[in-house]
Structure 1
């Protein structure tokens, strides 16, 4: 076994490896969007909406690999023997699971294009393009980290993260795939309670590096922030440099805070919103720079606060109030840059009326999502009434946790039955047929409190930060 799994009631007569599961969180930008484009710091944190990947090993006679991304309707099977192994494992290509890969091998990419383009031929071009990109990432990682002698597998993906809403859904999927494939090649240690200090950091970074490769396949030129947050959890500070790659610093002591996330279901284009700020800066350079500098100072203030304030105990209410005020100010500055949207402002208006917390847009704006940091001791009825209003206006509400744990493993994919104490296996059919985000959470979800029995997480060592 690749790590201390703590099997629960599995029958030892089973000849194949048991099904196992990997999960990784989405992310939200809490401070600094748009200003980050101009060299200011940004703070992004993991949220407890997650992707889940179930890995099922097939019998030795079934030499196929299947990708079943249920939530986007992607389901395709390849013959393992027909995949371009020779291109990925040629002598001149010396990448191993320990490699730091920051670009795609053009020969490898070209070799998998016909296999990726075989999927979903019945779909319209826009949907099929999404499927092809997802498949390209999967095949590139599978061929990089597996071998032609690998047994057959089914990789079944489900997600509770809204797709295309700026919440890092693709990075979460790439982290799941990276972790699962590295586990299958016995390239990871842990997670387990007695892991030596610093070892978990090495494992997280190994997962993160390969997840970034998947993001390269999907996005072409990703910043690396989304996969870094998803792999390590908690939060990061991200800052572009004048030359060289951006700096990404993990915040392993970022507090877990209850969060309301509202999807406006208003489509938006990141490029359009970035261009809007660029034009504003060209027309009003001094004024726009003042706003961008103010956002940068807000991010620095927030970093100082989360590094020193007491978010548990007697000082928690003051700390949350202070952080919430910074969130409200940040939203106002983003509005002044022209990147909000009437539906985002309507969410803020509804939340402000209930006085349950502090709201801002997250991500590029122009649609997408808004986040609200809850005040302490909010009553359930207030939330329920707000949800009714959201539903009436076509918004989608999620209660989540900010500062969530990063990549986690459930090995084997089994929970203990509370009544009998025996292990209950999560099989392929039950997982695939779970009804929406709520069904996924009920069956396998880590949960808002992140205390679901059986799940284990690599945790960054705070002492190393």
Structure 2
């Protein structure tokens, strides 16, 4: 099979509203985070398959003859496999020496890659190629870094295997796949997430696939069309996050649900009519309300309180995103926010020992790039190997 070189990227994710309440049947809004993971697939003639993950200092190669022996005889011939193939997962674990005691980031990333690679090329000769994946997302911060990785893997390998066509035309800089192809990408990315996380919700890989904003309720994930791009500051407190849920009151959950639904309504209005200051006033009020709710639930942290206090002195509104108990927070930036205010705020937060990025939410999901559309510093990393 002739494999062609390609570049793809997928976004991270943040929870705008509804974290924790979602497990009690309330609405959560997940949004794409315009810090992206980039992948380069390069065809080679080495009779090897290699994966390079510079973020975690990992470079691994295997002979194709070794990997071919791992394909189970009873391998399912369907294009889309709903359940993980336990036999292949077991063989790959043995091959890599991965046990329950050494499920580190490198092992899980490698296992996920090899599973999708072998699964998609099982009916033909395994191709010789090198994948390089580099991410702007911090790992382990609840920002969907593993899902963006899995989405990039799925898109690139599906495209390379011929299961989906390349959407990139000759004069395009970037292009997106059609809905049917995105569904296939999402299903294979979900397989990768299962390997990494065991029992994921599917929200993170769906955000990485479709981008924009997703409504998550009772296990159902609905991508919302026409969501405005909002500027934010993303702050990582670097305090390890905690997913422990305390017992919480029903009225608080109901109020969080109302916050999520109101936010969804406001964002929808912002795509259908001229954006007004009142829209941002409401979004800021909802951020403040939800942050108070999350503190009531017991998932706040002094570092997150510091984030809210520092940004509020500059007239900016912040809340935690994700599990809480540390982790990350987002700060809404109004269109008229002066650049000097943003620079000063970022410096104030860095002085607190936090990492901070100016970025946006609501951007595109997985897409294919021409080399010309990949940021120069990213291209340099991807082409270095």
TM-score (norm 1): 0.76
Structure 2 residues without counterparts, runs of 5 or longer:
none
Q: 1:295 to 1:26 in 2, by over 3 A?
A: same
Aligned partner of 2:311 in structure 1 is 351
- Separation (CA, whole Å) in 1 of partners of 2:304 and 2:330: 10
**Residue number in structure 2 paired with 1:68:** 52
SS in 2 for 1:83: helix
> Which of 217, 226, 231 is the aligned partner of 2:204?
226
Residues 12-91 of structure 1 aligned to structure 2 (within 5 Å): 19-59=5-45, 62-84=46-68, 87-88=71-72, 90-91=73-74
Instruction: Give the structure 2 partner of residue 451 of structure 1.
Output: none
Alignment correspondent of 1:110 = 90
Q: Provide Cα deviations, 1:354-408, integer angstroms capped at 9, x if missing partner.
A: 01x3211000100110001112211111111122222222101111111010001
In structure 2, C-alpha distance between the alignment counterparts of 1:383 and 1:81, rounded to whole Å = 54
Say whether 1:247 aligns with 2:220: yes
| Worse overlay, 393-402 or 381-390 | 381-390
1:408 corresponds, among 367, 374, 378, to 367
Gaps of 5+ in 1: 2-15, 120-124, 241-245, 282-287, 419-424, 433-465
Match of 1:338 among 292, 295, 298: 298
Aligned twin of 1:386 = 345
Displacement of 1:115 after TM fit?
2.6
Q: Quick check: 1:87–1:107 contact (8 Å CA) kept in 2? A: no
Cα–Cα, structure 1 residues 376 and 82, in superposed 2: closer, same or farther, change >3 Å? same
* Counterpart contact for 2:134–2:381, Cα < 8 Å: no
Deviation of 1:63 after TM superposition, in Å, equals: 0.7
- Which residue matches 1:177? 153
Kindly report structure 1 stretches of 4+ aligned residues shifted beyond 6 Å: none
Q: How do 1:275-290 and structure 2 match up within 5 A?
A: 277=246, 280-281=247-248, 288-290=249-251
What is the CA-CA distance between 1:67 and the residue it aligns to?
1.1
Partner of 1:303: 264
Match of 1:159 in 2: 135
State the Cα distance separating 1:102 from its structure 2 match.
3.4
Q: Secondary structure of 1:54's match?
A: strand
- Please state how far the C-alpha of 1:426 moved relative to its aligned partner: 4.7
Q: Deviations over 1:140-181 (max 9, x none)?
A: 101111246233111111000111111000000000000000
Residue 366 (str. 1) matches residue 317 (str. 2): no
Q: Secondary structure at the match of 2:358?
A: strand
- The answer for the alignment partner of 1:268 in structure 2 is 241
The one of 286, 297, 322 aligned to 2:282: 322
Question: Distance between the aligned counterparts of 1:293 and 1:417, measured in 2?
Answer: 43
Q: TM-score normalized by structure 2? A: 0.91
Which of these residues, 78, 81, 92, is aligned with residue 95 of structure 1? 78
Distance 2:299 2:266 in 1: 26
| 8 Å CA contact retained: 1:321, 1:375 | no
Q: Say whether residues 1:235 and 2:235 are aligned partners.
A: no
> What is the root-mean-square deviation in Å for CA atoms of aligned residues?
2.7
The alpha-carbon deviation at position 254 of structure 1 amounts to 1.3
